[in-house]
Amino acid sequence: MAIFYINTSTIGPLMNVNKSIDDNQTSQMKIDEEEEGSSFVDINASGESTNEGSKHSSPKQLSMEGSTTSKETRSSLKNKTYFTDDELGAKRCFIINSLLSWSISFEFKRETFHLAVVLFDKSCAYYEYICDNMMFQLAVVSLSMAAKISEVNTPTTNDYLEVVEKNINVKISLEDFFSTEKIISRVMQWRLQPKTIYDTLHEILFKWDEMFGTNGISFLNDNPLSYIHYRQIHQVIDTLVHHHQYVEFPYEHIVFSSMFILILRDINFELFNETNKHKAIYDAETLKNCLNEIMNEQNENEEIRNFINNFNAFLNMNNVSFDDMIDSLVFSSKLIEIKFYYFESKEKGDNYHDYITWQTKIEHFNDIMNL
């Protein structure tokens, strides 16, 4: 069994040592589509309730398609409380990091981790209130279901129960595990392969390499520098999904924003001067002004100037304007000084694509919490 690197001291209230999930705790998760006790509130992109005639909704009222159009937010997919409460967001951050750690332990691919995150979030968002232990139960079952879809070899149910009990002291019975599978399936309306940010990222990276990969920065080519860029962008995205507010932005905007900041960093562009650097990171208006200057002013450095031109052309090709994604740039800017991790968790085989899609951990989890 792998040794996990999670620092549980950062979220004390989340941990219930040696506490099993009994019938009283699981009863709130039993879904009855006709029952008035269900407490999911579906909201539209403007944040208004879409079921004003009743405060309850059934799973049929959830939009489960992973739409990622540039004009659409993910607000219609979530319960407002689950994604806006900072205390709950801190708990979620810890659990998402647990999912990442378990994925590493079981040698899952990155796409499995990201699919598990979507299944977990949409299941949790069905309820206005959910206890801590039940969140862990939904998390591990979401990972199990994602692995059945994405992986060739999958662990046994007992393997999942063991890793949860050993690392976070939460006991889950076999009965609860299998009943939770049914719950997640019903909440998802059995559409268990929603679009994830991982899918969107690979679509965008493929387009970028097709346009600029032969004479500039690339991500998917089989060479050492491209491999580094690939690992960097994935660690940025993996880190961003730890923050509950990432769902406020279309997937494309987060990917474009992360690529923009990452490439500027990699070509040694000083994003902010020393007098306003830290202020810009924490002050949205200052940061927006800095970013607009970068895009609109002619830089003396030819490499930077070429990248800005290429990036603008790339956005236009994808029907996205720089102004559209300014808020997601502010969100992604928190990762300007992220420390990347390049440990190769798997030997390189004949299939380069399989090799680069393997999971690797995020270092400095406490730094993520502080972000």
- Which tens digits make up the pLDDT trace of 325-346? 888 988 888 776 677 877 776 6
**66-82 pLDDT tens trace:** 333 333 334 334 456 77
Q: Is the confidence at residue 96, as pLDDT, over 70?
A: yes
- Between 33 and 139, residue with greater pLDDT: 139
Average pLDDT over residues 161-190: 90
Q: Is the confidence at residue 46, as pLDDT, over 60?
A: no
Confidence of residue 175 (pLDDT cuts 50, 70, 90): very high
Residue type, 95: I
Residue whose entry in the numeric block shows the structure tokens 């810009």:
280
DSSP per-residue letters across 157-194: HHHHHHHHHHHH-EE--HHHHHHHHHHHHHHTTT----
- Between 24 and 293, residue with greater pLDDT: 293
3-class SS letters over 206-248: HHHHHHHCCCCCCCCCCCHHHHHHHHHHHHHHHHHCCCHHHHH
- Which region among 47-56, 200-209, 231-240 has the lowest average model confidence (pLDDT)? 47-56
* pLDDT score for 278: 57
How far out from the chain centre does Cα 42 lie?
Answer: 21
Indicate yes or no: pTM above 0.85: no
Confidence of residue 289 (pLDDT cuts 50, 70, 90): confident
Give the Cα separation of 116 and 286 in Å (integer): 36
Q: Is the confidence at residue 364, as pLDDT, over 70?
A: no
- Cα 179 to Cα 13, 29, 138, 348, 359, distances in angstroms: 26, 9, 10, 39, 28
Tell me if 3 sits within 8 A of 361, measured CB to CB. Answer: no
Tell me if 15 sits within 8 A of 121, measured CB to CB. Answer: no
Is residue 190 left, alpha or beta, with left meaning phi > 0 and alpha meaning psi from -120 to 50? left
Encoded tokens for 157: 């149910």
- Which region among 100-109, 182-191, 212-221, 314-323 has the lowest average model confidence (pLDDT)? 212-221
* pLDDT score for 6: 35
Looking at every residue in the chain, the average pLDDT score rounds to: 74
* pLDDT score for 39: 30
% of the chain residues with pLDDT over 90: 29
Q: What angle do CA 198, 204, 205 make, to 5 degrees?
A: 85
Q: Is the confidence at residue 283, as pLDDT, over 90?
A: no
Q: Is the confidence at residue 11, as pLDDT, over 70?
A: no
Q: Is the confidence at residue 220, as pLDDT, over 60?
A: yes
